[in-house]
Amino acid sequence: MTPPAAQNGAAPLATPGGDAAYRQAERSVTQRSFGQPQEPGFRPVYPGQAWPTQPQPAYVPPPPLDWHQQQARAYTPSQPPKNPNGNRTILIAAIVSLIVALIAGAGAAATVVALDRPDPIADQSGPEIGNGTDPKIRTGSVSAVAQALLPSVVQLKVEGADNSNATGSGFVIDTSGHILTNNHVVSAAANGGSIQVVTQQGKAATARLVGRSPAYDLAVVQVVGINAPAVQFGRSDQAIVGQDVVAIGSPLGLAGTVTSGIVSAKNRPVTAGGEGEISYINALQTDAAINPGNSGGPLVDMNAKVIGVNSAIATVRGAEEGSSGNIGLGFAIPIDQARRTAQQLIASGKASYPVIGANVDMRFEGGARVTDVTAGSPASQAGLRTGDVVTSINNQPVDTAEGLIVAIRTHRPGETIRLDYQRAGRPRQATVTLGQQTG
């Protein structure tokens, strides 16, 4: 609709009869990892309508009345594609509560791995990390935080044996030269290749891969004798929505980039990871500008203490491949989880996560519906059966299978959790002692 030309006596613009003609074709917000500037693909997470980004040539009506509801739906995890074989259940072994199943292709499902042996859970606390010198930032300014942290943040350049490559970020976590980053940044070099680390001063060195955890999308590399101070960890469980934060890394290859924002949300179920490796994260959400190449860099509070590892961003579906960037929705792995995983990787090169040995229906909403329970597994011993719908864990509501997965992954093997569930419409409770799986 075009407004009438400005002139004396011009009639006022008629009120539109409805907004259906002005609604944009449905698009969706999806989340991707960004260790590689040109990643071959990403997995959708948040379907929903995106507000138009291109300038309109003429009159633009106000948003539809249900705009807020449309935006809220953008945070609902997307449903996996329908199985061409007619099987509506995608089996995954719960990580931390269920083991994550990776879909190898259309219609394929990963084999469930359930721990059913009564082995004791070993304490894998590992060496002390994240205990660098206290920056003692008192002004709370972004410039002061940047000055304190920049020397500890490095850029990673990875080349795989198959000529694949990736770039990302990392930060020094101890005096032995261990550097924490994302698994999807370094996974190309897991079976050969090279990892180059470049410090703030521009000095490059070859790093060795100490260990990686696809389940948590974390990895540790090491450079002996690196001239960079260790960071100090904060506590992500004490982060509050609205607090100021700073993100540091190498977006698009621009090393030493500093951006600022706030913690936008906590406990956000997010998927991350590289090609063929999916990680489920109970993430901190931030609007600090992070872009491809920021992966593995630190998210820090205004005391210059690390509270998260930047790992993923949300992008608008339909954007040209490789052109997507920050839209104010970034996600970081909480440092409380990253600390435990990094310690395990340094100690043994491997990391563990909890399991219960059950499968869940990824399409079901209104809880996490169990589709299969492995005999002798923790879930079986707790009395869970096929068809049970888990509605909460330790009084934390569970709306989807993803929500259950990330909630349980915040725990450790050997811990006891309480699951509230429904069987044939009747409420029940189960106490589950978590097993463990390596990955």
Active-site residues, by number, are 184, 217, 295
d(CA 418, CA 428): 11
Strands 435-438 and 426-433 turn out to be unpaired
Return the amino acid letter for 328. Answer: G
Q: Helix (H, G, I), strand (E, B), or coil: what is residue 209?
A: strand
Q: Quick one: which of 106, 87, 351 has its CA closest to 213? A: 351
Look-up of token digits 């864990």: 393
Per-residue DSSP letters for 253-290?
Answer: G-TTEEEEEEEEEEEEEEEE-STT--EEEEEEEE-S--
H-assigned helices in 284-356 = 335-348
- Two tokens at 283? 């993430």
d(CA 194, CA 221): 11
Residue 131 CB: number of other CB atoms within 10 A?
13
